[in-house]
Amino acid sequence: MLGLLRKKETLVVDASLDIRTPDGTTLLSIPSEVISVFRRMITGLQFRETLPACTALTATLRFEGVTYNTLALATTLASDTGARVCAVETNWLAPGMYQQLAFEPQPKRRRKDEAPPVARFAATPGLAGLIDGSATLDEALIATEHQNLKLLPAGTLAPERRPGLVRSATLRETLANLSEHFDYVLLDVPAVLASSDGIALASLGEACCFIVRQGVTPSTQVQQALDEVKHLRMLGVVLNQVQIHTPRFIRNFIPQE
């Protein structure tokens, strides 16, 4: 019982991690709670089985946080293992990597006299430029402060080209070439129920990780989406934006590991 506890244990919390440009400018700060989730997942996979060289992250619907979690997993993996990691955005339907990284945090309501968000780096040709041959790998990648962590935005691709390209040998060959330069490639894939492209792109990975926004996405739709990718090896389901309603004084007595 709580009343019998004489001493409150000190909880050890993982430190947060940042994605920074080579000159030290912070692009994205990832809180300790998120790092802990992925650190646990990575450790479990390393001890129980082989960590896939190419993993697709996807979701049921849009706006569930796939891009953010792809960046968080890539950062954790690069930081903890020292391996060469590349986060690749394959979502030409609704790209979000630039929005996650490129701008200074702004208030929800901006005054008329306030300046617009400030870009922190120049946009690259991205994966699209790599595929069509207009850019080299170095030109397409976004470098970070850590030499073993690179980011590859989707770039610009005409809507009429998307269905054919996502199912093409060209894209498979491009990703295979990336795998020769990196130990781990993480694919940011469109939501499964938002576009049939999501299934095709998720199938390019050796395994799949599913992102679910807790308390928002209906469980029936989650099950439908999981059925669509049941042919893939599933690493697990990550609950995003989890809200815990247990009072803090009780949570202090709950083991965190």
Query: In the sheet where 54-59 sits, what is the strand order?
Result: 142-143, 149-152, 85-89, 184-188, 54-59, 207-213, 234-240
Alpha-carbon span 145 to 149, nearest angstrom = 8
Alpha-carbon span 126 to 92, nearest angstrom = 11
Q: What is the pLDDT of residues 4-31, one digit of tens each?
A: 444 444 445 578 999 999 999 999 999 9
High-pLDDT (> 70) share of the chain, %? 82
Q: What is the pLDDT of residues 113-142, one digit of tens each?
A: 666 656 677 789 999 999 999 999 999 999
256 pLDDT above the threshold of 60: no
| Domains recognised in the chain with CATH numbers | 27-103+121-241 (3.40.50.300)
Distance of CA 252 to the CA centre of its chain: 29
Q: What is the pLDDT of residues 46-100, one digit of tens each?
A: 888 788 999 999 999 999 999 999 999 999 999 999 999 999 999 998 999 999 9
Q: What pLDDT score was predicted for residue 6? A: 43
Q: What is the pLDDT of residues 187-220, one digit of tens each?
A: 999 999 998 999 999 999 999 999 998 777 889 9
Farthest-apart Cα atoms in the chain, separation? 68
Q: What is the pLDDT of residues 226-252, one digit of tens each?
A: 999 999 999 988 887 554 444 443 344
- The dihedral built from the CA positions of residue 219, 220, 225 and 231, taken in this order, carries a sign that is positive
The residues with which 86 forms a beta bridge, in sequence order, are 150, 185
Cα 205–233–54 angle (5° rounding)?
25
Q: What is the pLDDT of residues 131-175, one digit of tens each?
A: 999 999 999 999 999 999 999 999 999 999 999 999 999 999 999
User: Which residue, 115, 132, 120, 230, is CA-closest to 173?
Assistant: 132
